[in-house]
Amino acid sequence: MTLTAYTGADVFDGHIRHRNSALLVDGSRIAGVVLEGDIPANAEIHPLPSGTIAPGFVDLQVNGGGGVLFNDAQWVDTLRTIAQAHARCGTTSLLPTLITDTPEHVSAAIDAVEQAIAANVPGIIGLHIEGPHLSIARKGAHNPDLIRKMEPADVDLLLDAVKRLPILLVTVAPENVTPEQIATLTDAGVLISLGHSDAPYDDCKTAAAHGATCATHLFNAMSQFTGREPGLVGAALDTPTLHAGLIADGIHVCPASIRTALAAKQGPAAVFLVTDAMSTVGSDITEFTLDGRTIYRRNGRLTLADGTLAGADLNIPTALRFMTSKVGVSPDEALKMATSKPAKMLQNTQVGQLVSDGVANFVHLDDDLYLTAVWQNGTPISDVISKP
């Protein structure tokens, strides 16, 4: 293998920023981060403009991309298309997400992700099943005809799936899943996230006590924070063990609400970025269908005909720039929210950080956080989506 030293930019390893340093890459693996004066003599120098080298982004909620939607076709080719579209935006590790659907499509999604991982499709690290065990009151764009309580057969299906997949994340509402079911699933390794729920604070805290570790797209499709009833928003912020995904596009959550949430969040669990991306990411399509309903793409917004938000037309670099320019967080904190923080939620040390002998998934961003280059498994990605 050829040892390559990437120089000229700061190196953000997912946790701290290294200045006057180089990222060493040996084939498909990270060889380390060293001061420029300590670059091995046998390394090939690859100079970059100023800016930042960072880990490839980690996105735990990706419904589609490249013009296709996972709900439409639970096939390996669908997953490959989605992963390639997001890799062009710097996301090198993702959880394809199946929105509320039939048991047959859930089974097909599990099969497809298992086959994609066996085939080493770059970027696919597991599966996120969002529904159908949600709340009708907070259904959002999910099909209400398919929303239902979790039954023993559903538990059995998920228990089998977690044995076959490296990561299985499932979004549920406490209204349609019992604490005992949550405990059974989390004891087996399923990651449970609370979302699309109108449950009160106490019920959400009970779900967390039984093993739930996340809240899905904070503030959206969930019981809100009020003075007398904190709801799921309050539980997500007040519970040290509940992480929370956040759609940072200026459409789903106001910057002031994000600032308040970040200030209020009790750790060690943290808020991290997700895109909730639909098929529009990496494509020029202006509309698509979900369960036979048309979703319209207008000015960065995806909606049903009645105006209901239906996922997001968002990539991670755009979310990073929103977090720094509109919310006011530092570039390093924004980068953590797209790399090491979602990895921490997954308890996965192989993604979201640049560590010796880790997979060489990394990006280069300019000083304004626009993407300029992406490497996946040490190989540069062509046709990167950079400045508009």
Query: Tokens 């390394």 sit at which residue?
Result: 43
The rounded distance, in Å, linking the Cα atoms of 152 and 172 is 15
Asked if residue 152 has a cis previous peptide bond (ω within 30° of 0), the answer is no
Backbone angles phi, psi at 144, to 5 degrees: -65, -25
The rounded distance, in Å, linking the Cα atoms of 208 and 299 is 37
Q: Where are the alpha helices (DSSP H) in 119-252?
A: 152-164, 179-187, 201-209, 231-238
Residues 6+ apart with CB under 8 A from 86: 59, 62, 65, 94, 123, 277, 281, 282, 315
Q: Residue 187 in 3-state DSSP?
A: helix
Residue 203 appears among annotated catalytic residues:
no
Cα–Cα nearest to 384, from 88, 39, 81, 80 = 88
CA distances from 185 to 211, 216, 348, 366, 381 (A): 8, 17, 19, 42, 37
Residues 6+ apart with CB under 8 A from 307: none
Cα–Cα nearest to 218, from 249, 179, 188 = 249
Structure token pair of residue 322: 């929103």
CA distances from 138 to 25, 142, 196 (A): 46, 9, 5
What interhelical angle do 103-118 and 76-87 show, nearest 10? 70
The rounded distance, in Å, linking the Cα atoms of 220 and 211 is 22
Strand partners, 379: 376
Pick the catalytic residue from 101, 276, 366, 368: 276
Structure token pair of residue 142: 């999910």
CA distances from 132 to 42, 113, 173, 184 (A): 55, 18, 9, 18
Active site residue ranges: 276
